[in-house]
Structure 1
Amino acid sequence: MLRKKRIRTFREKNRVMLLLLKCIVVCYVAVFGVSYITSDTSAYYSKQTKVSQKITAGTWEEADESLLKFIDKGNQNIKACPAKMKVTLKNTGKGPMLQTSVYEIYYVENGNPKKHGQKVLLNKGEDVVKVLDKGEKVELTYQTDKPGRYIFKAYQAGDHDEKKAVWSKEIKVTCKKETDKKSRRKRKGC
Structure 2
Amino acid sequence: MRSLRSVKKSKKYKKLIVFAQILAIWYASILSLSLVTSDTVAYFNDSKKTSFSIQSGTWWDGSKLTFVKHNTENIKSCEPHSITAQIKNEGFDMMDGTEYEVVYWPTDNRNPQHKGDVIYEGAIDPIGKNEIVTLQFEAEKEGSYKFKAYQRPGFNDNYDTREEIWSHKIMMNCKGKQEKEANSDVVEEVEESKEEAEIIEKEENVEAPIIEEEEINRKEEKEESAKNSKEEATDKSVNEEEKEVMETSSDDSLEEIVNSQSEKEGEDE
Q: TM-score range by the shorter chain?
A: 0.5 to 0.7
Counterparts in 2 of 1:148 and 1:87: CA distance versus 1, 3 Å = same
> Per the alignment, in what secondary structure is the counterpart of residue 116 of structure 1?
coil
The equivalent residue for 1:100 is: 97
Residues 108, 171 of structure 1: CA spacing in aligned structure 2 closer, same or farther, 3 A cutoff? Answer: same
User: 2:72, 2:28 → 1: CA distance?
Assistant: 77
For 1:27 and 1:173, the matched residues in 2 are separated by 105
| Alpha carbons of structure 1 residues 170 and 162: separation in structure 2 relative to 1, 3 Å | farther
Residues of 1 paired with 2:94 and 2:123: CA distance? 13
The structure with higher relative contact order (CA 8 Å, sep 6+) is 1
Kept in 1, the 8 Å contact 2:142–2:172? The answer is yes
Task: Give deviations 1:113-165, integer Å, cap 9, x for gaps.
Answer: 9843111134xxxx010100110111000011201000110001246976611
| Mapping of residues 1-190 of structure 1, within 5 Å | 30-38=16-24, 41=28, 57-58=46-47, 59=50, 60-61=53-54, 63-80=60-77, 81-93=79-91, 95-110=92-107, 111=109, 115-122=114-121, 127-158=122-153, 164-175=163-174, 178-182=175-179, 184=182
Distance change (3 Å), C-alpha of 1:30 and 1:162: closer
Measure the CA separation in 1 of the matches of 2:161 and 2:23: 67
Shift of 1:109: 1.1
CA 1:166 to 1:89, structure 2 compared with 1: closer, same or farther past 3 Å? same
1:25-77 CA-to-partner distances (Å, cap 9, x unmatched) read x998755422223459488xxxxxxxxxxx78221136410001001141111
Aligned partners of 2:74 and 2:171 also within 8 Å: yes
- Show structure 2 runs of 5+ residues with no match: 1-11, 32-42, 187-269
User: In structure 2, do the counterparts of structure 1 residues 139 and 181 end up closer, same or farther at CA, with 3 Å as the change threshold?
Assistant: closer
Task: Classify the secondary structure of the residue corresponding to 1:72.
Answer: coil
Question: CA separation in 2, counterparts of 1:161 and 1:82?
Answer: 39
Q: How many residues align?
A: 145
Structure with greater helix percent: 2
CA contact (8 A) 1:113 1:150 kept: no
Q: Is the 8 A contact 1:114 1:151 kept in 2?
A: no
Alignment RMSD (CA, Å): 3.7
- Mapped to 2, the partners of 1:145 and 1:117 lie a distance apart of 16
The alpha-carbon distance between structure 1 residues 76 and 134, as it changes in their structure 2 partners (threshold 3 A), is: same
Q: Residues 114, 134 of structure 1: CA spacing in aligned structure 2 closer, same or farther, 3 A cutoff?
A: farther
Residue 120 of structure 1 aligns to a residue whose secondary structure is: strand
**Which amino acid letter does the alignment assign opposite residue 103 of structure 1?**
Y
Which structure has the bigger radius of gyration? 2
Sort the Cα spacing of 1:77 and 1:96 in 2 relative to 1 into closer, same or farther, 3 A: same
After superposition, the C-alpha distances for 1:82-123 in whole angstroms (9 at most, x for unaligned) are: 111010000011x1111100100110113589843111134x
1:18 is aligned to none
**3-state SS in 2 of match to 1:97:** coil
> Secondary structure of 2:120's partner?
coil
What is the TM-score with the length of structure 1 in the denominator?
0.62
Q: 1:100·1:128 contact (CA, 8 Å) conserved in 2? A: yes
TM-score of the superposition, structure 2-length normalised?
Answer: 0.45
